[in-house]
């Protein structure tokens, strides 16, 4: 990736302010923007016609540019930049989140600090204690930006890990994460195998969309297969040799929403 159940009916007992009314409209719009995915929720393959969310790291892309490009929302970081780098979209800020919500865009949280070959090692290599520390940081940044209290955070396995590494290292990292925010608020980003292993080992939560779990699968390391239980599929991975589409002057990654509930904040207040 880049360093790129039914809803509850609102029944206010008092007159709401204009500001709150606008907030409710924006939240409903963000949900509606993903609603079309529900019709294809049982399909095992991603579709270019599905609602799309983008992820990016270098700087904040204005909400108007994201809407103009036809995307339904963003997957944004609840982590800081690695040593020696300064990425303007890490972490997501409250003012930026408010601008996205006001434009009717969905917001989903993702945590990634380290990276293979980067100035900090991959987060999952730090085991249980690392998972505890990462979950605490992720939750603090998520809530500071206005993230939903029951919304999941996707934690990145941005590498082609094998089963041995999963069992002995990555799984322990996820158990550390679970100890802080609970299984239901934990999601995974990775290739098809880690997504399946995380589900089988019970370390990620379940979407409100039937049969789906908090798995954000990347096409990388997936052999052209799509995990039927995933809620997001990263169809476009922007690289130097294969750049992604440009939105607001920045190349972005693009993910298809495979379910109505992908963990967007407005569905999980």
- Whether residue 12 is contained in a domain is answered as no
Strand 186-190 vs strand 215-218: parallel, antiparallel, or unpaired?
Answer: parallel
Average pLDDT over residues 180-207: 98
Higher pLDDT, 23 or 163: 163
8 occurs within a structural domain: no
pLDDT digits (tens, 9 = 90+) for 203-260: 999 999 999 999 999 999 999 999 999 999 999 999 999 999 999 999 999 999 999 9
In-domain check, residue 42: yes
The CATH number for 228's domain is 3.20.20.80
- Cβ atoms within 10 A of the Cβ of 222, count? 20
pLDDT of residue 48: 52
Q: Are 37 and 45 in contact (CB under 8 A)?
A: no
Q: Which has the closest alpha carbon to 188: 131, 245, 268?
A: 131
Amino acid 228: pLDDT: 98
Please check whether residue 9 lies inside any domain of the structure. no
13 assigned to some structural domain: no
Query: Side-chain half-sphere of 41: how many Cα atoms within 13 Å?
Result: 17
**Cα distance between residue 30 and residue 178, in whole Å:** 28
pLDDT at 10 over 50: no
1 falls within a domain:
no
- How many structural domains are present in the chain? 1
Burial class of residue 160 (count of CB atoms within 10 Å of its CB; 0-12, 13-18, 19+): middle
Domain range spanning residue 74? 18-267
> Does the pTM of the predicted model rise above 0.75?
yes
Question: 220 lies in a domain?
Answer: yes
Asked if the structure places residue 207 within a domain, the reply is yes
Mean predicted lDDT score pLDDT of the chain: 87
Lowest mean pLDDT among 28-37, 169-178, 232-241, 250-259: 28-37
pLDDT at 1: 73
- Would you say residue 32 has pLDDT above 50? no
């Amino acid at each position: 990736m880049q360093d790129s159940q039914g809803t509850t009916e609102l029944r206010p007992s008092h007159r709401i302010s204009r500001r709150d009314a606008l907030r409710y409209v924006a939240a409903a719009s963000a949900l509606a923007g993903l609603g079309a995915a529900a019709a294809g929720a049982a399909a095992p393959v991603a579709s270019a016609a599905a609602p799309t969310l983008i992820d990016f790291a270098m700087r904040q892309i204005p909400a108007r540019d994201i809407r103009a490009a036809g995307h339904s929302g963003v997957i944004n970081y609840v982590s800081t930049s690695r040593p020696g780098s300064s990425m303007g979209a890490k972490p997501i800020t409250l003012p930026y989140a408010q601008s996205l919500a006001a434009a009717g865009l969905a917001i989903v949280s993702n945590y990634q600090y380290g990276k293979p070959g980067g100035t900090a090692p991959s987060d999952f290599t730090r085991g249980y204690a690392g998972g505890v520390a990462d979950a605490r940081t992720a939750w603090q940044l998520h809530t500071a930006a206005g993230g939903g209290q029951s919304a999941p955070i996707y934690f990145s396995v941005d590498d082609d890990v094998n089963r041995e590494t999963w069992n002995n290292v990555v799984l322990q990292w996820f158990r550390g994460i679970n100890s802080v925010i609970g299984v239901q608020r934990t999601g995974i980003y990775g290739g098809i195998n880690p997504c399946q292993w995380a589900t089988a080992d019970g370390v990620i939560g379940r979407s409100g969309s039937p049969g789906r779990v908090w798995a954000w699968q990347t096409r990388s390391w997936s052999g052209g297969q799509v995990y039927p239980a995933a809620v997001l599929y990263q169809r476009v991975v922007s690289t130097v040799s294969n750049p992604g589409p440009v939105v607001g002057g920045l190349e972005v990654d693009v993910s298809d929403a495979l379910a109505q509930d992908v963990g967007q904040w407005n569905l999980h207040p």
